[in-house]
Amino acid sequence: MQVRQISICRTPAVWMLPRLSPRRTVLWQLYMCDQHDTLAAQLTGALNPVRRGRQPATGEVHCGTLHDHQPVEDALTLHERMWLDLPDRSGTWVQQLREAALWQEEIGGVDAAALAEIARVAAEGPNDPAVQARVLDLLARTETAAIERRWVAQYGPLPYPSR
């Protein structure tokens, strides 16, 4: 399981929305507060908040925490919905990461160097679970940084100390 933080809200989550596969296995679980239930819509690609299937959250989890149980190829889709620009969805997941890194470099994107490093790590062993876990961790860190930059650009300083 990969843990990601897709918002900067530090409010304790009151809801958990699971996304299940057709075989009823958990693909991901999103934790959110009442104010940020639109996060689920972003992940699912819906136009309106997704409330069907949500359950009260248990434990001490912050809003915006995502427990992603998917394979790396499918996790890329969620990253794309939240922040990652994948200009070409064809090819292997490693090729998609390379294309994203090249695109970011071409447009002078802030995440170009991070994505180039992630693509390099991915190429070391695309079928190795340890490499895939490392790639997902690096993607999660880069996503968090992108979300924090977006916050600062829109609202000013972060409401908590930066890492």
How many whole angstroms separate alpha carbon 94 and alpha carbon 88?
12
pLDDT in tens, 9-35: 889 999 999 998 899 999 999 999 988
pLDDT in tens, 80-127: 888 888 887 889 999 999 999 999 999 999 999 999 999 999 999 999
What pLDDT does residue 163 have? Answer: 53
Place 162 in a pLDDT band, splitting at 50, 70 and 90.
low
Q: Which two tokens stand for residue 158?
A: 């972060």
Q: Which two tokens stand for residue 143?
A: 């996503």
How many whole angstroms separate alpha carbon 149 and alpha carbon 43?
19
How many whole angstroms separate alpha carbon 17 and alpha carbon 128?
30
pTM for this one?
0.80
In 7-54, beta strands by DSSP E:
15-20, 26-32
Among the ranges 43-47, 80-84, 114-118, 156-160, which has the highest mean pLDDT value? 114-118
How many whole angstroms separate alpha carbon 81 and alpha carbon 123?
23
149 CB-near residues (< 8 Å, 6+ apart) = 110
Residue count (the chain) = 163
Strand partners, 68: 2, 28
How many whole angstroms separate alpha carbon 119 and alpha carbon 53?
35
Residue with tokens 């990601």: 4
End-to-end CA distance of the chain: 22
pLDDT over 90 at 78, yes or no? no
